[in-house]
Amino acid sequence: MTFLRRLAKDPFGIVIFIALFLFIIGPMISVVLWAFSIQWRYPSLLPTEWGLKFWAQTFKRADILQALPLTLMISFIVTIVSAIICLPAAYAFARIKFRGSQFFLLSFLATNAFPRFGLYITIAVIFLKLNLISTILGVVLIQLVNTLLFMIWIPTAAFKGVDKSLEEAALDVGASRFRVFWQITLPQVIPAISAALLLTFVGTFYETQGAILIGLPGIRTMPVLMLSLINNQLVVQYGAILSLTLWIPSLILLLFARRVLSGKTLAAGFGV
């Protein structure tokens, strides 16, 4: 009774909730149902035969067994390289005063200021000449483009958020600069940096547009494989099972996001 009364207090909220639920979650439900079905004849509302038969088949496919480690490897390389080049830059932006720092920081907005696929086409034209099409290096480079803004802006905001007087107090009692960074600054920015790392990894893992343009035909990452499965595969379950499995990194990000990622951190990555 009290539950109903609480619901009645917010009628607009209920309308929005139901509409959003149908639109956002509806498609997801159909994937889950397909993944655990063996047969689903129209017009049955639920699968006509349930089972895990297709899971074993899916993970026996050679193309999938090949694409998964490749995609993981590319994502790791991109994340690590991006961290190595971007994190020191973020520290510099937050902590060192230098001429043009505003300009350089804002210049990374350029990654957001072009229509993405058009940009990839112009990169692909150059890569074509450099023989980088269909190579791991080519794919890694194009993925790096996507990571720069997140990897610089989120940590920069985090480093700026560390109270400078805490660092100065530690310097004052005789700690070296390196020690101050390691023991005072770093622990406070770790949540934001891990958020940026995770976003980079997951973003790269799922990136489709650059991978299809630069990677094919030699390099076939999971999303690209998925694309061809959707277009050419008659067994519906393969796509459903792959979708569910592929969604695992995102699920981890989602769980992590509830704790660490605030809307503000995310907004920082869009230059808002």
Partner 1 sequence: MEASQLQRPKAKLSKQAWVAYALIAAPFLLMVLLIVYPASLSIVRTLRPEVEGVRRFGLENYQAFFSDHTSVTNLIFTLWSTGAIIGLLFAICLPIALYLRFTDSWIAHWVQGLALFPLFVPGIILAYALIRFIGPNGLLETFIEVTTGWQGYRTPYLKPAGSIIGLVWEGIPITVLILTAGLAQVPDNLIEAARDVGAGRLQIFFRIILPLIGRSLLIAFALNFLGVIGAFTLPYLLGPAAPQMMGPFMQRTFYNVLNPDAAETQAVITFLLSSIVGFLYVRSAVRQQKEET
- In the list 52, 65, 109, 130, the residue contacting partner 1 (rule: CB under 8 A) is 109
Footprint of partner 1 on 234-253 (CB under 8 A): 236, 239-240, 243, 246-247, 250-251, 253
- In the list 64, 67, 144, 192, the residue contacting partner 1 (rule: CB under 8 A) is 144
Q: Is 64 in the site for partner 1 (CB under 8 A)?
A: no
Closest alpha carbon to 151 in 265, 42, 264: 265
Q: Is 54 in the site for partner 1 (CB under 8 A)?
A: no
- In the list 73, 117, 168, 182, the residue contacting partner 1 (rule: CB under 8 A) is 117
Min. distance of Cβ 62 from partner 1 in angstroms?
A: 20
For residue 217, say if its preceding peptide bond is cis, omega within 30 degrees of 0: yes
Which range of residues in 54-62, 70-78, 116-124, 165-173 is near partner 1 by CB under 8 A?
Answer: 116-124
Q: The tokens of 267 are what? A: 């907004």
Min. distance of Cβ 257 from partner 1 in angstroms?
A: 7
Q: Is 4 in the site for partner 1 (CB under 8 A)?
A: no
Q: The tokens of 236 are what? A: 């519906």
Q: Is 99 in the site for partner 1 (CB under 8 A)?
A: yes
- In the list 4, 5, 8, 98, the residue contacting partner 1 (rule: CB under 8 A) is 98
Q: Is 198 in the site for partner 1 (CB under 8 A)?
A: no
Q: How many Å apart are CA 46 and CA 59, to the nearest integer?
A: 24
Min. distance of Cβ 94 from partner 1 in angstroms?
A: 10
Q: Is 183 in the site for partner 1 (CB under 8 A)?
A: no
Min. distance of Cβ 166 from partner 1 in angstroms?
A: 20
Alpha-carbon distance values, 76 to 46, 143, 150, 227, 265 (Å): 39, 11, 16, 22, 22
Q: Is 213 in the site for partner 1 (CB under 8 A)?
A: yes
Task: Report the 3 state secondary structure along 107-153.
Answer: HCCHHHHCCHHHHHHHHHHHHHHCCCCCCHHHHHHHHHHHHHHHHHH
Min. distance of Cβ 164 from partner 1 in angstroms?
A: 14
Measured from the CB atom, the residue of 69 and 118 that comes closer to partner 1 is 118
Which range of residues in 4-12, 51-59, 162-170, 177-185 is near partner 1 by CB under 8 A?
Answer: 4-12
Question: Exposed e or buried b for every residue in 104-134, given b needs 16+ CB within 10 A?
Answer: ebeebeebeeeeeeebbeebbeebeeeebbb
Footprint of partner 1 on 23-42 (CB under 8 A): 23-31, 33-34, 42
Q: How many Å apart are CA 79 and CA 199, to the nearest integer?
A: 9
Q: Is 141 in the site for partner 1 (CB under 8 A)?
A: yes
Q: Is 148 in the site for partner 1 (CB under 8 A)?
A: yes
Q: Is 13 in the site for partner 1 (CB under 8 A)?
A: yes
